[in-house]
Amino acid sequence: MVRWIPDPERENPQLLAALGLTRIEELFRDIPPAARVGPLGLPGPLEEPEIIAAVDQLLEKNRPRKGMDSFLGSGLYDRPAPAVVDGILQRSEFYTSYTQYQAEASQGMLQALFEFQSLWVELTGMEVANSSLYDGDTALGEALLMTRRLREGQYFLVPESLRWERKSILSNYARGPGARLKEIPQDSRTGRLDLGFLEREVRNDCFGVLVEYPDSLGLLQEDLPRLRGILGDVPWVVSADPLALTVLDPPGSWGADLVVGEGQGFGIPPSYGGPLLGLMAARRRDLRHLPGRLVGATTDPTGRRAFTLTLQTREQHIRRSKATSNICTNQALMTLAFLGYASALGPRALARMAEGMTTRAHELAQRLGSVPGLVVPRFSAPFLYEVPIEVSAMPVKDFLAGLLTRGILGGVALADPRPGSRPPMFPGYVASTGPATSGKALDRYLAAAHEVLAGRGGR
């Protein structure tokens, strides 16, 4: 065991002697004193039972999710999966496979990835999909880079309502090719995109346009089918929610060039914010610009159907410096969860789920709309299962904190918490309904909102 457990009293002098040093602190002499972290104030060593007791004491401070009504969403959803999904994922052939994204992946995994690609193509109305990316937000970043490969330009247009986290990620991706983001204004009453602004800006050194479906406020932009005629040959990226695509027209039917999305809501629990699943589909003409891995169907030497990785664009493979991306990979196990979830429920059950959640969201908006101090819904544009809510009577964070003390996870605030950040479109948040949202949960939300805004009970 000495080989694995360090023995500082015996080993440190030997290490320092080999380095020509006398004290451990000399290893850090190049770090300015002002940049160093002082003592952490950690307690001394404990026995294992004491450590377990200390950790348990810390965990007792957490409030369990169970027993609370959750209206969180904004890209990370709590949609319980049928037991069969975990049953498939935990099969040893899938769960313990070594580097499932490499070329030596088994035929079973390759077929699952192929079926996953086919499913995303069917949902989006596009022509080809890759076998996933890390998450929906980095899929957006890869889409920006791909549009930049397809067209020269300086600006990438994004909706004003795009969540601050996504804007931050896209700004980082844009920095590499020397590009910048420019926001498309949205009407303060309807929430609709300013198509006049868009029509002017696409002629002004623009290499790509992003729209969301629904957008970060939960709104459906009814003018999206008109965009192809406005954009001309400027590449058009649509960020879509897979569940919404079960009840809405696919973006491919309007002429979108790229469709990306976040697949977490299909068979993947929200956990602590991950793992997630990035989705991307494109036109066949742009296939060789698509990042990540693609699985193709072929035949083996005996004429049997077989699957193989094809058009590999990662730098670890044959492309090297010509790789379309040097960081993207596929989320093999998460794609299996997505595929298992969609297959277990089927298209009609998924559509019924989306319709039921939409009904509950509109019921929530109707009830909260009667509460003084709230403006619900904030915009006149249609919405599905996410509702934009303005809080006019008190700070948004205080209102949400008040709901939390009453067992309600009310929604996700729009404000960017970073110091010096620009304020959001309006002081508010987005509430999301889920498959398990009940009428009683809506009643509790309404009662809690009245109490918080009336000042009873405080925070």
Give the Cβ contact number of residue 4 at 10 Å: 5
Which pLDDT score is estimated for 400?
97
406 φ/ψ sector (left φ>0, alpha ψ -120 to 50, else beta): alpha
Which pLDDT score is estimated for 313?
64
Which pLDDT score is estimated for 394?
95
Which pLDDT score is estimated for 77?
94
Which pLDDT score is estimated for 458?
44
- Report d(CA 401, CA 407) in Å as an integer: 10
- Whether the CA torsion 194, 196, 201, 203 is positive or negative: it is positive
Give the CA distances from residue 233 to residues 157, 183, 203, 230, in Å, rounded to whole numbers and listed in that order. 14, 20, 10, 9
Which pLDDT score is estimated for 449?
97
Give the Cβ contact number of residue 238 at 10 Å: 25
Which pLDDT score is estimated for 315?
53
- Report d(CA 216, CA 230) in Å as an integer: 22
- Whether the CA torsion 15, 20, 23, 27 is positive or negative: it is negative
Per-residue pLDDT of the chain (459 residues; tens, 9 = 90+): 456 777 777 888 888 999 999 988 898 889 998 898 888 888 888 999 999 999 999 999 988 888 899 999 999 999 999 999 999 988 888 877 655 555 567 888 889 999 999 999 999 999 999 999 999 999 999 999 999 999 999 999 999 999 999 999 999 999 999 999 999 999 999 999 999 999 999 999 999 999 999 999 999 999 999 999 999 999 999 999 999 999 999 999 999 999 999 999 999 999 888 899 999 999 999 998 998 888 999 999 999 999 988 877 665 555 566 777 766 667 888 999 999 999 999 999 999 999 999 999 999 999 999 999 999 999 999 999 999 999 999 999 999 999 999 999 999 999 999 999 999 999 999 999 999 999 999 999 999 999 999 985 444
Give the Cβ contact number of residue 82 at 10 Å: 14
pTM of the model: 0.88
Which pLDDT score is estimated for 65?
81
Identify the helix (H) or strand (E) that includes residue 128: strand 128-129
Contact between 242 and 83 (Cβ < 8 Å)? no
Domains of the chain with bracketed CATH: 69-79+346-454 (3.90.1150.10), 83-341 (3.40.640.10)
